[in-house]
């Protein structure tokens, strides 16, 4: 009985001793030793409330009230902080003298990333003691193999978790400052050790879009290098789901992205669109080699058509150079143009195109300066809504009282043209438009600023030519072989196009016809085949045709 009581007392003392360890062992005294070294490495002041041992729910240590202050050039608040960091170790290995981390938990981490008016991030001065804040962003470096994945692989922990996190990105470089927040950030990472394939779960709410984002999947197995044999993730952004697969080796990587359906209204970004657009069967195959990113294949369905493309881009420059090509087939042009812009004139039909481009940068000033390309466009069985070209011709010729069919549309069977792009101007070459009532050929320019400068030669059908000539003596004289051909100019902007007939060109044709008739009459008079009375009568008919009396 005494032995049992003694053992019980011993157990109580041991348990009491273990429970008292957090209060008996003060780890905070090590702050003075390691705090200066950490501040030196980070080039940041840090704050730390306490470090103490824990025995429940597991043996380990807790760091409370830790924060890294921001660079004073950006803000006076913390760059990163967390309410507590818990590190739990396994008991049995600890009893044999080994420390094996079982779990790391970060409670309430808060990180604030700031881009100043010069486009420089506050994170860029971390670890750069004695170096002033850069006046402009530095070029993107090639990723180091001594990166976070290697540290993660060497960490060897069963579970890493984050709860109640918040990541804020504040952009002060634009005319209108913007702020984006990942709030209620959760992260769970399992099986983090060499040779294992970690399982990752991330969930957050993106503001100001109020969009839930979720990422689940695996990557690995982990090695001491950056090599990853397999990446498999499912990314959810609101109502849109993506599948991401690939692999990585050193500074190189291959990434494949696919999605069954994407609606632009459900994405956390704005597009220059008047209506939401749905993309189906998206498939992307990319390859990254150092700073070169290659788009090996891009395909998706859009407006009942199929789009395919490829290209490459070199990162690291303020205006990264790129080149690529795109081909589309079967695209319904009417809904596509309505989604892009609201204009008084729109074109419908089934479109196909091939386009090759190269340039530098992606802003409109950069594209206007550097974008170059060539291509071919064809539209079949369509209609130009908002303008009746034949009616515009009749009005320009001042032919009154004639209706040329649909007052606000021009139907066509084919519109086809070659394109070149340079210095913000699209050059339209070898334009061909075929319609039941006319055929048009020509070319001109369309600016990135939507300015139009096109000249086309209209060759009207015999029916339309006869209809116009019956109401206009000038048209009748200008006709050749029963058809009227005249130049049409299209100027103004895509928002407000203006149409006109080249009167000088038409007058020249009338002069040619008059000259021809005069030469025929004089020639007949000299040969004796035309009598003076006949010449007088032909002259009267010619004048009557010109002046209508």
- List pLDDT tens digits, range 501-514: 765 555 555 555 55
* Structural domain includes residue 424: no
Burial of 134 (C-beta count, 10 Å sphere; 0-12/13-18/19+): middle
* Structural domain includes residue 524: yes
Token pair for 513: 């016809």
Category of 533 on φ-ψ map: left (φ > 0), alpha (ψ -120 to 50) or beta: alpha
Tokens 């840090």 belong to residue: 46
User: Residue 493's pLDDT is what?
Assistant: 87
Category of 316 on φ-ψ map: left (φ > 0), alpha (ψ -120 to 50) or beta: left
Token pair for 133: 């804040």
Burial of 303 (C-beta count, 10 Å sphere; 0-12/13-18/19+): buried
Mean of all residue pLDDT scores within the chain: 81
Determine which helix (DSSP H) or strand (DSSP E) holds 102, and give its type and residue range.
Answer: strand 101-107
Say yes or no to pLDDT of 108 above 70.
yes
Q: Looking at residues 102-129, what average pLDDT do you find?
A: 88
Considering 124-138, 426-440, 525-539, the range whose residues carry the highest mean pLDDT is 426-440
Say yes or no to pLDDT of 406 above 70.
no
Q: Are 108 and 82 in contact (CB under 8 A)?
A: yes
User: Residue 464's pLDDT is what?
Assistant: 85
Say yes or no to pLDDT of 519 above 60.
no
* Structural domain includes residue 423: no
Token pair for 419: 């394109």
* Structural domain includes residue 546: yes
Q: Looking at residues 7-21, what average pLDDT do you find?
A: 43
Q: Looking at residues 527-547, what average pLDDT do you find?
A: 53
The span from the CA of 385 to the CA of 24, in Å, is 85
Least confident of 182-186, 273-277, 387-391: 387-391
Name the band, by pLDDT with cuts 50, 70 and 90, for residue 211: very high
Q: Are 408 and 389 in contact (CB under 8 A)?
A: no
Category of 255 on φ-ψ map: left (φ > 0), alpha (ψ -120 to 50) or beta: beta
First and final C-alpha spacing in the chain: 143
The span from the CA of 2 to the CA of 322, in Å, is 86
User: Residue 218's pLDDT is what?
Assistant: 97
Residues 394, 395, 399: CA angle, nearest 5 degrees: 60
Name the band, by pLDDT with cuts 50, 70 and 90, for residue 450: confident
Burial of 414 (C-beta count, 10 Å sphere; 0-12/13-18/19+): middle
Determine which helix (DSSP H) or strand (DSSP E) holds 539, and give its type and residue range.
Answer: helix 532-547
Q: Looking at residues 174-182, what average pLDDT do you find?
A: 91
Q: Looking at residues 384-397, what average pLDDT do you find?
A: 81
* Structural domain includes residue 547: yes
Beta strand 101-107 with 157-171: parallel, antiparallel or unpaired? parallel
- Torsions phi, psi for 100 (to 5 deg): -120, 120
CB-based burial, 39-57: b 16+ in 10 Å, e otherwise:
eeebebbbeeeebebbeee
Beta strand 50-54 with 178-192: parallel, antiparallel or unpaired? unpaired
* Structural domain includes residue 541: yes
Name the band, by pLDDT with cuts 50, 70 and 90, for residue 12: very low
Three-state SS for 337-358 is HHHHCCCCCEEEEEEEEEEEEE
User: Residue 502's pLDDT is what?
Assistant: 64
* Structural domain includes residue 549: yes
Determine which helix (DSSP H) or strand (DSSP E) holds 489, and give its type and residue range.
Answer: strand 485-493
- Tens-digit pLDDT profile for residues 237-264: 999 999 999 999 888 999 999 999 999 9
Name the band, by pLDDT with cuts 50, 70 and 90, for residue 41: confident
User: How many residues appear in the chain?
Assistant: 549
Burial of 8 (C-beta count, 10 Å sphere; 0-12/13-18/19+): exposed
The span from the CA of 97 to the CA of 56, in Å, is 20
Peptide bond into 48 cis (omega under 30): no
User: Residue 11's pLDDT is what?
Assistant: 43
Q: Looking at residues 151-163, what average pLDDT do you find?
A: 76
- Helix (H) and strand (E) counts in the chain: 11, 25
Say yes or no to pLDDT of 52 above 70.
yes
- Domain total of the chain: 1
What is the percent of the chain where pLDDT is above 70?
A: 77
User: Residue 42's pLDDT is what?
Assistant: 79
The span from the CA of 124 to the CA of 120, in Å, is 7
Name the band, by pLDDT with cuts 50, 70 and 90, for residue 15: very low
Token pair for 157: 């922990």
Three-state secondary structure call for residue 535: helix
User: Residue 142's pLDDT is what?
Assistant: 44
Beta strand 157-171 with 110-115: parallel, antiparallel or unpaired? parallel
Determine which helix (DSSP H) or strand (DSSP E) holds 207, and give its type and residue range.
Answer: strand 199-207
What is the percent of the chain where pLDDT is above 90?
A: 42
Domain hosting 542: range is 508-549
* Structural domain includes residue 538: yes
Closest CA to 59 of 88, 100, 17: 88
Query: pTM of this prediction?
Result: 0.76
User: Residue 391's pLDDT is what?
Assistant: 81
Name the band, by pLDDT with cuts 50, 70 and 90, for residue 193: confident
Instruction: Locate the DSSP E strands across 435-479.
Output: 438-447, 451-460
- Tens-digit pLDDT profile for residues 332-379: 999 998 898 777 778 899 999 999 999 998 888 888 889 999 999 999
């Amino acid at each position: 009985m005494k032995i049992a009581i003694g053992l019980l007392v011993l157990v109580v003392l041991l348990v009491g001793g273990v429970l008292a360890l957090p209060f008996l062992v003060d780890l905070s005294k090590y702050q003075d030793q390691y705090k200066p070294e950490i501040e030196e490495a980070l080039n940041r002041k840090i704050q730390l409330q306490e470090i103490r041992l824990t025995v429940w729910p597991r043996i380990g240590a807790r760091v409370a009230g830790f924060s890294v202050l921001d660079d004073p050039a950006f803000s006076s608040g913390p760059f990163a902080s967390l309410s507590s960091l818990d590190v739990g170790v396994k008991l049995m290995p600890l009893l044999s003298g080994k420390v094996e981390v079982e779990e790391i938990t970060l409670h309430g981490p808060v990180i604030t990333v700031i881009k100043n008016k010069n486009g420089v991030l506050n994170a860029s001065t971390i670890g750069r003691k004695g170096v002033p804040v850069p006046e402009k962003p530095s070029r993107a470096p090639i990723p180091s193999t001594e990166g976070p994945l290697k540290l993660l692989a060497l960490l060897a922990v069963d579970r890493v978790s984050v709860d109640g996190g918040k990541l804020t990105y504040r952009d002060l470089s634009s005319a209108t400052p913007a702020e984006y927040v990942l709030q209620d950030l959760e992260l769970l990472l399992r099986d983090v050790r060499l040779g294992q394939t970690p399982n990752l779960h991330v969930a957050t709410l993106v503001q100001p879009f109020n969009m839930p984002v979720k990422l689940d999947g695996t990557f690995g197995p982990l090695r001491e290098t950056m090599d990853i044999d397999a990446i498999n993730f499912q990314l959810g952004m609101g109502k849109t789901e993506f599948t991401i697969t690939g692999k990585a080796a050193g500074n190189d990587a291959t990434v494949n992205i696919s999605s069954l359906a994407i609606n632009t209204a459900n994405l956390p970004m704005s597009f220059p669109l008047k209506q939401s657009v749905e993309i189906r069967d998206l498939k992307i195959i990319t390859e990254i080699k150092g700073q070169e990113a290659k788009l090996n294949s891009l395909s998706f369905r859009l407006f009942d058509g199929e789009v395919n493309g490829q290209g490459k881009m070199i990162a690291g420059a303020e205006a990264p150079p790129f080149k690529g090509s795109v081909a589309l087939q079967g695209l319904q042009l009417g809904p596509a143009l309505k989604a892009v812009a609201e204009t008084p004139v729109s074109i419908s039909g089934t479109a196909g195109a091939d386009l090759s481009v190269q340039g530098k940068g992606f802003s409109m000033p950069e594209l206007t300066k550097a974008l170059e390309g060539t291509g071919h466009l064809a539209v079949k069985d369509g209609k130009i809504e908002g303008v009746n070209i034949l009616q515009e011709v009749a009005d320009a010729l001042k032919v009154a009282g004639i209706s040329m069919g649909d007052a606000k549309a021009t139907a066509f069977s084919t519109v086809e043209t070659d394109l070149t792009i340079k210095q913000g101007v699209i050059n339209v070459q070898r334009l061909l438009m075929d319609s039941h009532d006319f055929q048009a050929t020509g070319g001109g320019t369309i600016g990135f600023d939507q300015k139009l400068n096109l000249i086309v030669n209209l060759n009207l059908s015999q029916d339309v030519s006869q209809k116009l000539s019956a109401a206009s003596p000038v048209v009748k004289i200008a006709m050749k072989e029963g058809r009227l051909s005249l130049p049409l100019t299209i100027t103004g902007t895509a928002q407000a196009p203006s149409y006109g007939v080249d009167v000088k060109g038409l007058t020249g044709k009338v002069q040619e016809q008059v000259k021809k008739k005069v030469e025929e009459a004089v020639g007949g008079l000299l040969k004796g085949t035309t009598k003076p009375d006949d010449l007088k009568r032909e002259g009267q008919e010619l004048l009557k045709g010109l002046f209508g009396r």
